[in-house]
Structure 1
């Protein structure tokens, strides 16, 4: 296996650091628009390369399908992992297809709200443009494994596991994400510093959230009629996350799991709620009110500038805040329904990463590490033939046990990152 990772930001950098300790691949090329940044990642990964000499830095324009195709061919990459903002999904996706390689990403092609009823009906949904090409990928015998991060990604693996091993029937698959992370400024006081790409966070949180309902699908023409939208920050609830996080207020946001899970897993409802917190929601509302969430350029003294790019440039790079961060992050899936014994059941499948641990072990802050470990596990399963497939597929299309076992197994056999299952009172 020869891997090309497009993007050496926080997640791409963590991917290389994690992969360095595994032996399943022959070469890993880290490509970025900023060659110096790609080289920093390669240098950091090479220090821990258990084989030696496997990491190479390259430069690429991720907005150009032709440039991606050329780089894939130049290095003979067999798998390409997209580790950049979702606005670059389609050119990378198309460039990889043209080059004849297999593809993975952690966020899918962008949505576009319904022009007339944005808070009732979806327009172009997350991933629609990728699923439209599924036949071409399948005909070519090539795999596009989409949404293979943590959320989406691990949460989707949990859905497959729950359906296959824990439940006879599922009422709701409810992804719930929360953390107790704090970032301190130079004065020792907490500062506003998102732990993930603010560009992506704005996209997720200010677009109309999407929900899937089997009732709507059955009343309509099928799967596509099951998706509907609501206003941002809809239906707040206080969710109890495992210790050390505790209670966090969560709200609906747009996320890929809701577009992926109903395609492969039977459930009556699918939702995604994110524990943003009051301050974060207030900041996002202000950005929206001022138009600073817009991606379309505005003229500033004769220079076209994207307001969202300005916001991103003014905030700390998520890849750099690890040393000033404390706390843990939790990704998980709440599943309710009828257990295999015929009784009502409610479980929360979850994965917690402590920032002090991920910084000490990998030099990566916990949110990007938790995202990055999952595509590396998936690549290893593909390299060994445990996972295989063709077309545009989500994580739900593959065996969950093999993934969860490899993730949790102690190093060096596995990745040493256990997951948990909390039984909850279905009443």
Structure 2
């Protein structure tokens, strides 16, 4: 019996729970908890309709370590899959340690008061999880997550040495809204407006947010402008694959998105420090989140595809320099038809299910805190092909020219 508790009832949580219910041989009992129990109930109703599987739902404030610990002691799951906000990671990890439960998430911890995406807070839990005989798997989404597994797959099967790595995230979908984010607006905008950083020759190189733009022709999507950004898998990859001399992360944004974002920044709506409004403190970005479309609501109207992958250049196993591009293409309408969610949620929720499966089946194991690239990529890659995120590898004429 493999009981699992999923915390978080957004689009990613919905996809993960739907896909778990489709794999009852691994996930024999599924519970879903969120601050808003009605969201859990709606997902449970969809899961029951689509798969016939009944899941339990709970209301939970995941910031409350004692309450989370009590729920874990009540349910007694083998694993907690944290799909809540990244501000809550450490509290949920504390609850897992208190209750003796394995832990997994899709995004690294960040403090509320500063947009700082770093692993050191969670890596500091290494000894506590190791001493408790528990595993904590960090970043089992697509990026981070699949992109790290893509990299180690290339290293295992195609390269003796990787010199440069570019991670390319393209969402070619159109949801018909003037301005909306395809995942949590607060997290999305904090990432986009943060200073860009990439790893090069043993050091961090910083550039102003959204100041480096390149065009790339994405298969099944077409030419798109993409922007150099910081993303947390750069930190873990440069730590665990120190041979790589340069690691960059790129994400596509349309001109309308950039225009809206620039205006919102200019008028202070992306601020994360409190301001007084009618005698109360509010966070402008949190207020903006409240008035923007809920990402989970975009599924019925979103059309198009995503294309996310890695371009690696280095010394091949044949002794020759080569450049390989490994990527997945996901269709928004297909994702919605299967789970009731658009492809951005799907491409994170499916890897969350697979990462949980790796731990529950023992294909990945070990006490301590782990990043995705520290495990054998092959069983994870096999499950991507089998569960809706097929990938392909092709050789390019050479590395990116920029």
Same-fold status (TM-score > 0.5):
yes
Q: Show structure 2 runs of 5+ residues with no match.
A: none
Alignment equivalent of 2:326, drawn from 335, 349, 368? 349
Q: Distance in 2 between matches of 1:12 and 1:346?
A: 35
1:229 & 1:4 partners in 2: Cα distance?
39
d(CA) in 2 for partners of 1:241 and 1:73?
Answer: 47
Give the 5 Å matches for 1:150-229. Answer: 150-184=142-176, 190-213=177-200, 215-216=201-202, 226-229=203-206
Indicate if the aligned counterparts of 1:111 and 1:126 stay in contact, CA closer than 8 A: no
Residue 83 of structure 1 pairs with residue 83 of structure 2: yes
Distance 1:134 1:340 in 2: 34
Q: How far apart are the structure 1 equivalents of 2:356 and 2:188?
A: 26
CA–CA separation in structure 2 for the residues paired with 1:49 and 1:142: 31
Matches within 5 A, 1:25-174: 25-49=27-51, 52-53=53-54, 55-110=55-110, 125-174=117-166
C-alpha separation in 2, matches of 1:321 and 1:149? 20
Q: Is 1:245 aligned to 2:221, yes or no? A: yes
Q: Does the alignment pair 1:425 with 2:397? A: yes
How far is the alpha carbon of 1:110 from its aligned partner? 1.4
**Deviation at 1:97?**
2.1
RMSD of aligned alpha carbons: 1.9
What are the equivalent positions in structure 2 for 1:327-338 lying under 5 Å apart?
327-338=304-315
Asked whether the 8 Å contact 2:62–2:91 carries over to 1, the reply is: yes
C-alpha separation between the residues in 1 aligned to 2:38 and 2:112?
34
Distance 1:126 1:113 in 2: 14
- Structure 2 CA distance for partners of 1:112 and 1:339, relative to 1, 3 Å: farther
Three-state SS of the structure 1 residue aligned to 2:328 is strand
Give the number of aligned pairs. Answer: 396
Deviation at 1:176, TM superposition (A): 0.6
**What CA distance in whole angstroms lies between the structure 2 residues aligned with 1:181 and 1:357?**
12
DSSP-derived class of the 1:126 partner: coil
What is the deviation of 1:228? Answer: 4.2
TM-score (norm 1): 0.88
Pair 182,99 (structure 1): closer, same or farther in 2 beyond 3 Å: same
